[in-house]
Amino acid sequence: MAENNSTDFGYKTVPTSEKAGMVAGVFHSVAAKYDLMNDLMSMGIHRLWKRFTIDLSGVRPGQKVLDLAGGTGDLAAKFARIVGDNGEVVLADINDSMLNVGKEKLRNLGIVGNVRFVQANAECLPFPDNHFDLITIAFGLRNVTDKAAALKSMQRVLKPGGRLLVLEFSKPQNMLLTQAYDIYSFKVLPAMGKLVAGDSESYQYLAESIRMHPDQETLKSMMFDAGFDEVEYHNLTGGIVALHRGFKF
C-alpha cells in the first residue's frame, strides 16, 4: 500500500481521502444483489464459513455483540437469536444501502427489538470504551482504508475478556489452488457480476481488493500490534478464507 496521502483501491493507487467514497460506490451498486451473488460466487460455502465463525464466537445470552461491516445481516441474525431479549446486537456498516438491505432482511425474519442499526466508520467507532463482549467483521476489513486504526478502534470498544473475530478472504496455501482461484476471480466473477448484477467493474474491484489484503500472518501481527492477545487463525477452504480470533485481556 502506498504511504501518506495515497492508498490502494484494488490495484489502483488513489488519494486516501477518496477511498471510502469509492468503496461506498461499489457497495451501493451491489447491495440489492449482494446475498444472491454471495451464494453464487461461493457456491453457498460462505454459509459454512459464517457458521464456523458463530461456533468460535462463544457468544452467550445477554451479551452485547457488534457485527461490524455487517452488511445484509447474516451474522447479526444468528447472534440476535443467541443473545436473546436481554442481549443486544449492533449491526454497523459504513454504507447505508447495505444497512437498508440488512434492516429489511431482519424484519422479514421477524428479528426486531434486540438489534440496532448504526451507520459507522470502523476507523472511529461511535461507541463507549469496553462496551461489547464480541465484535465480528466478516468480509469487510479489506475495504477499510486504515486497517490498523480500525483494529485499534475495535480493541477500544471491546470489553476486557471479549474477543474479536475477523472473517476475511486470505491467501490460499496451495499453488494449484491459487492458480485456479486467480482464474475464477478475474475471469468468472466479473462475468457473473455483469450477468446477474449488471456490474462487472465492482466485482473486478472486489477480486483485486482480496489480493491487496494482508495475508494470514501479516493480519495476525496487526492484531497483536492493535493490543489483542492470544491471536490465532484458522484457514478455511485451503486458505481462500481465514478466520482470525483475538482476545482483549
Nearest of 57, 7, 36, 42 to residue 166 by alpha carbon: 57
Angle at 172 between CA 35 and CA 56, to 5 degrees: 60
- Residue 13 is labelled as binding a ligand: no
- The values of phi and psi at residue 133, to 5°, are -80, -30
- Residue 100 is labelled as binding a ligand: no
- Residue 122 is labelled as binding a ligand: yes
Asked if residues 14 and 2 have their Cβ atoms less than 8 Å apart, the reply is no
- Residue 72 is labelled as binding a ligand: yes
Q: What is the 3-class SS of 164-183, one letter each residue?
A: EEEEEECCCCCHHHHHHHHH
Helices 46-57 and 34-42 pack at an angle, to 10 degrees, of 100
**Residues in binding site:** 72, 93, 121-122
**Residues in binding site for S-adenosyl-L-methionine:** 72, 93, 121-122
